[in-house]
Amino acid sequence: MVRKTSPPPQLVRTEENLPDYDKDELRYERELIARVKACGVSAKLAKSEMAKLSKQKSELNRKDQNFKADAQDIASKIKIYEGIAITKCRLNHPGCVPSNDARKIATPKSMGEEINKNNKTKIDFEKLSEFEGGEHTVSYIPWWPYLKKDRAALVFYSNEPGKNILRLAGEYNGRPENRSGATIGIGVDLGQDSPQDFLQKMKKRNTGMQKFSDDELNKLHEKIKPYFEKIGGEACKFLRENPLVFSARESHFLNKVAHEEALQKAMDKYRLVAAKKGGKKFTDLTSEQQTALLSNGYQKGTPDNALINAIIHENRKEIPERLREHAYLFASMHPQQEKGGGNQ
């Protein structure tokens, strides 16, 4: 008789049970927050001292023989405190591995034109690049821990091979929803794919002006293979220890793969919803609507349902304000286009 083995017990959600790489990221974040708080305290104390010194200076007797020297001494002290008082004590998150803007490159328009021609679309790929922060040839990770009142969000990611591995959640728009990994090109996040799945995507999308030889494609895949399925703290540690740099041609090729995959998913999901709700064909949507759907899907995997509904209803008031595409799409849709939403 074959005995059934039960799965290992799930770890308790405590920081002590986090992997070391996540513990390190949590420690870095708390140290950063502590420095910002200390900066704020110093600025407040400096302003207080400046007020005292200013009062002291105003009370000096101009007839006193030491007036000039005393006034200059107080003024020099005020100047020192002034430098501390005007310090901007803001919590800035460049990402656990910051992007290198000096190594950003221009994306060839021909690539977007080719994708649009093949799909009969009118996507503004320059706008997509703008949403994603441009094209990077040095890999970065836009991730940092989520902390609320010094409490971290601890999660079990269901799609990881080791389902019982407790992980530290990243912050995105004030929510514990950031799962970024090593990112390259125009927002191509390697952490979201498996090596085999991405290889199939590379082969499928290896067409047109960006086409690679079989040898070039396999070499590029081997280069990026170690970075797949690593997200959050694990990805941060690995990328710091193993920097990833690409040629312009490699970056453009990865963009093409990611763009075409994301566009296919966005079109498929939109068609499914539009078929049920009587929406226009994807190819009949405006350039801004198509671009917003691709951008949103590019960021989240598939477009937000609320965004799709706003476009189908042609009602800009329904566009979720939390979406990065909100202002761009809202400005392109006129009040008279809105159905059932009234005038603005």
Q: What residues make up the domain containing 319?
A: 101-143+179-337
Does 122 map to a domain?
Answer: yes
- Determine, yes or no, domain membership for 265: yes
pLDDT digits over 234-275, tens only?
A: 999 999 999 999 999 999 999 999 999 999 999 999 999 999
pLDDT (tens digit per residue) in 50-100: 999 999 999 999 989 999 999 999 999 999 999 999 998 999 999 999 999
Q: Is residue 82 part of a domain?
A: no
Express as a percent the part of the chain with pLDDT over 90. Answer: 85
Cα distances (angstroms) measured from residue 302 to each of 257, 259, 307: 16, 12, 11
Q: Assess whether pLDDT exceeds 60 at residue 6.
A: no
pLDDT score at 1: 52
Domain assignment present for 273: yes
Please give the mean pLDDT across all residues of the chain: 92
Residue 29 belongs to a domain = no
- The enclosing domain of 274 has a CATH number of 1.10.530.40
Q: Does any domain span residue 215?
A: yes
Q: Which band of pLDDT confidence, cut at 50, 70 and 90, is reported for residue 102?
A: confident
Q: Give yes or no for residue 343 having a pLDDT over 50.
A: no
Amino acid at 58: S
In angstroms, what CA-CA distances link 141 with 131, 184, 240?
16, 9, 10
Q: Does the residue 61 lie in any domain? A: no
* CA separation for the pair 191, 181 (Å, rounded): 4
Q: Is residue 156 part of a domain?
A: no
Structure tokens at 95: 């990402």
pTM of full prediction above 0.75 = yes
Please state the rounded mean pLDDT for residues 162-172.
Answer: 85
Domain count, the chain: 1
The tokens for 32 are: 């950063």
